[in-house]
Every structure is written in C-alpha cells, then in structure tokens.
Structure 1
Amino acid sequence: MKRIGCAAVAVVGACLLGACGSSGGGDGPMATVITDRPTPITTAPSAPSAAPASPSTAATTTPTSTTPTSTTATPTSPAAPQAKPQDYAGNAPGWYYFSSPSGKFECGIAVLESSIAGCHGSLPSSAPEVPGSGASETAVKPNAVQLIAGSPAKFESLGDPKFHRFDGPAAALPYGEELTVPGSGSTNGLRCSVDEQTGVTCTDQVGHGFTVSDDDFDLR
C-alpha cells in the first residue's frame, strides 16, 4: 500500500518522491520514477523588419545653373548741353542765327509756317550742281544747304543769302552744344549743332536733316 501511494504521489511531483524514499519499510529498493522536465517555452525571434522599400522612381534633381547671365548694357549718349535760343535771336521775329566756331559756316533757323534751317559757307567740292536761282535751266554750284521741316534736306542756289545775319555778326555755337527751336507745329521743331570733325548738323523731328563740312556732306 505504501509503494502504490508513493508511486501515485511521484507522478505528481519529484519533491514528494524524495519524501517516500526516506520512509522505512518494504522488502526491496523502491522503483525510481523519472518524470520529463517541462519543455521550456521559447519565443521565436521576431523576423527582421523588412528593409524600407526603394521608391519606384528615383527623384531626379535638376541642378540650377549659378552661372550669371551675361548682359551687355547698351551705352547711351549723354544729352547734349542746350544753348539758349534767345542768345541767337535775330531782329526778325522767329529767326535765330549762329556760326560755326571755325567761321566756315553761317547758319540760321527760322520758325515759319514750315520751319527751315540752313547754312552758307565752305560747301564741299563734291556737292552736286543744282538749278541756278535766276536760271533754273542752268546747273550751278550750290551756295546753301537747306532743310524744310518734314522734307529731305537738299543743296540750293539762293539769290538771297537768307541764313546770313545782316544786322551784326552771328554768335558762334560752341562745339557739342545744341540749339533747339520749337516749331510752329507738333513736328515742326528744328535743332542744330556743330562738331569739330563732321561739321554742322541740323535735323527736324521726323528724321530729315543734313550734316555738312568743307569736305563732306550727308543729306537725309
């Protein structure tokens, strides 16, 4: 009866077996009952997290050029100093006279119904012949260059040297200065200047004009 009780108790736990083995009595050695140790429960290691998915399309960065854009500034000519018209006014209303500093040309600007500007003087030998003032059928050397506002400039043979100041000497217009006289209409103004190299230049407000020296000319 003790062996059976001890065997039953041994199934329950190893600690009770030790107690049965220590009690006396019985004819032979008591059978040893070995119970399997409980299998330890282990937690399976977590699967390594997946590497972050590569983006399906790689972002493309377009470098921005830092090279400065080359710009070339267009030079602008400074405005010419303006002469005072009253310093060149003649006795006749609306007339203004000037000479070149060299004395080679006498010129005038007249504000008329159609304003005019012109010069007498040392015209170039290359100037074309024009109809004579008293005999239009005869070609002669011109004695004047004239601009009527709104029309192309041209050489003329004038019987009356109208751009010469008779009541006294005309004041010299300094090189680089500009004499501007408003006209009688919106496009009737005229301006003249003198350059030491190119000579006298007079223009209207629509692009007509002349440049003349003792050895060259340009009519437009």
Structure 2
Amino acid sequence: MNKRLAIILSGLLAAALAVWLLVPKDQNQITAAPRVWDAQEEGASATPEIEQFPVQLRTTVTRFAEAYYSSSYDDDHPSAWLDRTLPWCTDAYGKELRSLYGSGSGGNTWAEIESMHLVSSAQGLEVSEVYRSSEEATYLLTFEHVTESDDGDGYRPIQKIVELENTRKGWLVKGWTDLSDGPTFTDQIAPTDSPDQEYFVD
C-alpha cells in the first residue's frame, strides 16, 4: 500500500513539473527588468544635461560673491579682493568696479585693516534661480558677510539680486543689487567706507 502511494505521489510530482515547464511564462515578468534598466540608462544620460547648465551659473554667482568679500590683512595689496572678482564678471562690470574701488580701500584704510588683522568673507551662501534664458539669468543670493579681527567678530546678513550674462567666456556676473535691510552684529557697530557701505565690529 505504501509503495503504491509513493508511486502515485511521484507520478503527480512529475506531471506537475511537466505542466509548469510547458505553460508560457508571464511576459510582464520577462520584460519588466529590461524596462527598468532602460529607464535607468535614460535617466543617467539625461540628468547631467539637465543639471550641468544651472550648476555653472550657481558656481559663477557664489565664486563672485566669495571673491568680492574676500579682503584680508595678509593680501599682497589693498585691491587684491577686486582682482579676485574679475574672472567671474563681465569686462564691462570689471571696469566699473575698478573705477569705483580701484584705489583699493575696500572698506577701512589699508593701514587699519593690517593693524586689526581684519579678514572678511562671505559664508552660508544660498542661491535661488529667479529667471533664466539662453542669454541672461537672474539669481537671488543670500549669505552672511563675516568679519574677523583682533577687535572682535561680526556678521551682516545680505541679500543680493545677481544678474548674469552669457558671454563668449561663459556665464559671468554683469551686476548685482543689494536688498539687505541693514547691519546686524554681535557687538559694537562701526561704519566703514567699503563698497557696500558695510560695517564691522569695532
């Protein structure tokens, strides 16, 4: 009896296996993996093309701001900060900046900057796109102008509308407008004659 049952079970298993091998598989299961792979390939090739363009503009905006607020007591000369902005702005705007600040005061007199060991920087930069075409673009830039010196450290929150132009050299800053409300510092405030009428802690 047990031998007959074993033979019957073996036959049923063999029949089930034969049916499973003969039944056509679900086509969705066969094509699903290639379909996902194709989408990944398309995404991998398309993403850089989409992201590369605005990344270049954002880099220009942030590098220009960092250069503009990069004056330091250990610079080779008073207008070194101005020289650092030139690769990131148009020739016309570079000439305008030189005509305004070419004397190199850049804020306090150079003697004061050296004696106070004053260092200026732009920190926490955030860039938001306002408008962009193939020829020009506008960005909102938010950051803190930070000053560090022997007499104390301070900061000023700043907002700028930055305008860019697509030139033969690439995207460059052609001007910006200050939207800041005013200076905010941790300690005593003292005015200077810097390009944006900025302040640092006295």
- The TM-score, its normalising length taken from structure 2, stands at 0.25
Structure with greater helix share of residues: 2
Largest Rg, 1 or 2: 1
- The TM-score, its normalising length taken from structure 1, stands at 0.24
Structure with greater strand share of residues: 2
